[in-house]
Structure 1
Amino acid sequence: MRYGWFIFPLLLCNLSWGQMNHPKASPFARIEQEIGLSKITVEYSRPSAKGRTLFGNQPNGAPGLVPYGRIWRVGANESTKITFSTNVIIGDNSLEKGTYALYAFPNENKWEIVFHKNLTHWGDGRKNYDPNEDVLRIALVPTEVKDFQESFLISFDDINHNETFMNWNWGTTQISIPIHFDTKAIMKLQIADKLSNPPSAQTYYEIARYYQEQNIHTNEAKEYVERAIELGGDTYYFHRVRSLILADLKMFDEAITAAKISMKLAEKEGKDEFVRLNQDNIAYWKALSITKQ
Structure 2
Amino acid sequence: MNHPKASPLAKIEQEVGLSKITIEYSRPSARGRTLFGNQPNGEPGLVPNGRIWRVGANESTKITFTSDVSINGQELKKGTYALYAFPEIEKWQIVFHKNTTHWGDGRAKYNEEEDALRINVVPVHKQDFQETFLISLDDIDHNGASMHLNWGTIQVAIPIAFDTKSIMQEQIDKNLSAAPNAQTYYEIARYYQEQGIKSKAALGFVNKAIEMGGDTYYFHRVRSLVLADLKSYDAAIKASKISIRLANKEGKDEFVRLNKNDISRWEALQPTNK
Question: Residue 260 of structure 2 aligns with which residue?
Answer: 279
- 1:35-86 Cα deviation digits (max 9, x unpaired): 1111110000111122222111122222111111100000111100000101
Distance 1:96 1:139 in 2: 19
Give how far 1:202 is off: 0.5
RMSD (Å) for aligned C-alpha atoms: 1.4
* Whole-Å separation in 2 of the counterparts to 1:106 and 1:115: 14
Measured at CA, do residues 241 and 25 of structure 1 come closer, stay the same or move farther in structure 2, by a change above 3 Å?
Answer: same
Question: C-alpha offsets along residues 229-266 of structure 1, whole Å, 9 cap, x if unaligned?
Answer: 11111111111111111111111121122112212222
Give, in angstroms, the shift of residue 208 of structure 1: 0.5
Question: Is the contact between residue 56 and residue 133 of structure 2 (CA under 8 Å) also seen in structure 1?
Answer: yes
Alignment partner of 2:53 out of 32, 49, 72: 72
Q: CA deviation at 1:271?
A: 2.1
Separation of aligned partners in 1, 2:46 and 2:272: 62
Give deviations 1:167-206, integer Å, cap 9, x for gaps.
1111221111111111111112111111112210011011
**In structure 1, which of residues 113, 117, 121 is the aligned counterpart of residue 102 of structure 2?**
121
Tell me whether 1:47 sits opposite 2:28 in the alignment: yes
Alignment of 1:1-293 (within 5 A): 20-289=1-270, 293=274
- Structure 2 runs not aligned, ≥5 long: none
Task: State the percentage of identical aligned residues.
Answer: 69
Structure 2: how far apart are the matches of 1:36 and 1:56? 38
Q: In structure 2, what is the Cα distance between the partners aligned to 1:153 and 1:245?
A: 42
SS at structure 1 position matched to 2:93: strand
Q: Which amino acid aligns with 2:79?
A: G
Q: Which amino acid aligns with 2:212?
A: L
Rate the CA distance shift 1:148–1:268 in 2: closer, same or farther, 3 A. Answer: farther
Give the AA of the match of 1:152.
F
Give the secondary structure class of the aligned counterpart of 1:77.
Answer: strand
When residues 279 and 51 of structure 1 are mapped into structure 2, their CA distance, relative to the original with a 3 A threshold, is: farther
When residues 157 and 291 of structure 1 are mapped into structure 2, their CA distance, relative to the original with a 3 A threshold, is farther
How many angstroms apart in 2 are the aligned matches of 1:95 and 1:147? 33
- By percentage of residues, which structure has more strand? 2
Structure 2: distance between partners of 1:268 and 1:167: 47
Point out where structure 1 has 5 or more consecutive residues left out of the alignment.
1-19
In the alignment, the residues of structure 1 paired with residue 175 and residue 162 of structure 2 have an alpha-carbon distance, to the nearest angstrom, of 21
The answer to whether the 8 Å contact 2:91/2:123 transfers is yes
Change (3 A) 1:119 1:196: same
User: 1:223: Cα distance to partner?
Assistant: 0.7
Further displaced range: 102-111 or 250-259: 250-259
Shift of 1:292: 5.8
Query: For the Cα contact (< 8 Å) 2:267–2:273, is it kept in 1?
Result: no
Q: How many corresponding residue pairs?
A: 274
Q: TM-score, normalised by structure 2?
A: 0.96
